[in-house]
Amino acid sequence: MPELDKQLNTVSRPPVVGILGHIDHGKSTLVDYIRKSNVVEKEAGGITQHISAYEVRRVREDGRETHITFLDTPGHEAFQNVRTRGAGAADIAVLIVSGEDGVKPQTLEVYKHIQESRVPFIVAITKIDKPTADVERTKQSLAENGIYVEGYGGDIPFVALSAKTGQGVEELLETISLLADLIDLRGDPEAMGSGVIIESRLDPKRGITAVGIVKNGTVRRGTFAATGTAMTPLRFILDFEGKQIDELTFSSPIQIVGWDKLPQAGSEFATFLKKEGALSYLEEMKELEEKPKVLPKENIDSDSITLPLIIKADTAGSLEAIENEVGKLFRDRIYPKIISSGVGTVSESDVKLAIATPGTIILGFNNKVDSNAGSLAERSGIEISLFSIIYELTENIFKLLEEKEPRIQVEETSGSAKVLKLFSAAKGKQVLGARVLSGKIALGANVRVIRREAEIGRGKVRELQQAKIAAGEVQEGAEFGAMVESKMEVAPGDVLEAVELVTK
């Protein structure tokens, strides 16, 4: 039993541990080993694209049974905000660094979030079973980036491990438990349950479902839950394995079903005995938790056009990440504009909106298209593309921008020549001698006539000779003779600039 602090009416509570780090450094494989399940193969491309919460029971070295809740967060850079929420919801962070690769950009980004959230953390050097792994080199890489582990100039605990063989994993778990004892995590089991929403999604069978972590008190069936944007009566609640239960206390992952709106991932939730309390909390928090949509960057050219997009994703976290990535995709004369976004399947109403906005593309992430929507889209010629990996979705948008960017014709200079002598002029045709200053002058080229750095007229090269022999073009430094057709009389000292129209 947890030790009761009678003065404060609190008890020691299990730690919530965020597993954070660069993509493919072994985060999910580590949680996979600890849980003795298979997380990695369920994720598209082996990349974790959602926060997942798992509760683990273990017997410590001193014989006590303890619980640890793990948050496995995405490593792909597109999910930066999701990782930030993972660090914010955690009591302890484990910074994963590959023993093969050392510190990477996302490692430093995660380290920054850990520092900002002031969460105590442990460094786990992974993949030590690999032939190319080098623990000392990795510690050196950490130190070069200002992360000083124990025995290497600092006091940050570290563990070297292999999630494949299990070497070092028990040491990591014991280090987490010792650190939890040191920071003395506590909670009041009698308080109304409260915590953090780490993910939300639209379940086609159950309705809007949110995954959260209980940070204090006890969440009980029959009460009401509210966030800054949504509320729900707690008719039934689920643990992290999906089992229906009557109550859950602090540090446990919880699934709350039946929200009236999609709760924002990262928002705090609280529970209340009566609906009136939930509604009052909803009003108080709404202004604090509302955030603007991702908007296109400022200073877009007024002549730019938009590529209208409708985006549907499986969860609020995925949708947020996609919207942030779309906000980075711009071409000179076209930019993406999200006209509608949401969580759930691609529906008939999405297709109708696309029909009403010509040129709209519908993109789905980790979801499906309902049958009515699919039939209507096919009849109406609306393009729907589905993806399970975020960078494939963003690459597709970038290709669409390239294809649909308006083409314009611009005039480029291919060469210039200085007029040395005028031999004759009659009926707008002038025979002259010149020397190529730069580039080339070609037969048939259109030329600008430049006098004292100002354009005074235009012409065309009708004949071209070099050393009195007809030529197709003459290169830089060569002297040549030409017949130029121009309404403006050319004079020695003028510069002829050869120009051509280029489509861009």
Q: What is the pLDDT of residues 154-191, one digit of tens each?
A: 899 999 999 888 899 989 999 999 999 998 888 899 99
115: which residues sit within 8 A by CB, 6+ positions away?
none
Question: Of the candidates 90, 59, 66, 58, which has an alpha carbon nearest to the alpha carbon of residue 2?
Answer: 66
User: Is the same domain home to 328 and 449?
Assistant: no
Instruction: Provide the residue range defining the domain that includes 181.
Output: 4-186
User: Is the same domain home to 28 and 174?
Assistant: yes
How many other C-beta atoms can be found within 10 angstroms of the C-beta atom of residue 136?
11
* Segments of 258-360 assigned E as strands: 268-272, 305-313, 334-343
Average pLDDT estimate for 7-32? 77
Q: What is the pLDDT of residues 200-244, one digit of tens each?
A: 888 777 888 888 889 899 999 999 999 888 899 999 898 887 888
470/114: higher pLDDT: 470
Average pLDDT estimate for 338-346? 88
- Whole-angstrom distance between the N-terminal and C-terminal Cα of the chain? 72
Give me the phi and psi of 399, to 5 degrees please.
-65, -40
User: Is the same domain home to 451 and 467?
Assistant: yes
Tokens of 283: 């009003």
User: Is the same domain home to 28 and 159?
Assistant: yes
Query: Backbone dihedral region of 326: left (phi > 0), alpha (psi from -120 to 50 degrees) or beta?
Result: alpha
User: Is the same domain home to 237 and 365?
Assistant: no
Asked if residue 294 is part of any domain, the answer here is no
Average pLDDT estimate for 122-138? 92
- Give the sign of the dihedral formed by CA 316, CA 322, CA 325, CA 338: negative
Return the SS3 of 70: strand
User: Could you tell me the CATH number of the domain that includes residue 371?
Assistant: 3.40.50.10050
Length of the chain: 504
Distance (Å, rounded) from C-alpha 113 to C-alpha 322? 20
Return the SS3 of 435: strand
| Residue 399 CA to its chain's centroid (Å) | 17
Q: Are 248 and 239 in contact (CB under 8 A)?
A: yes
Q: Are 44 and 365 in contact (CB under 8 A)?
A: no
User: Could you tell me the CATH number of the domain that includes residue 201?
Assistant: 2.40.30.10
Quote the pLDDT of residue 136. Answer: 92
- AA letter at 210: A
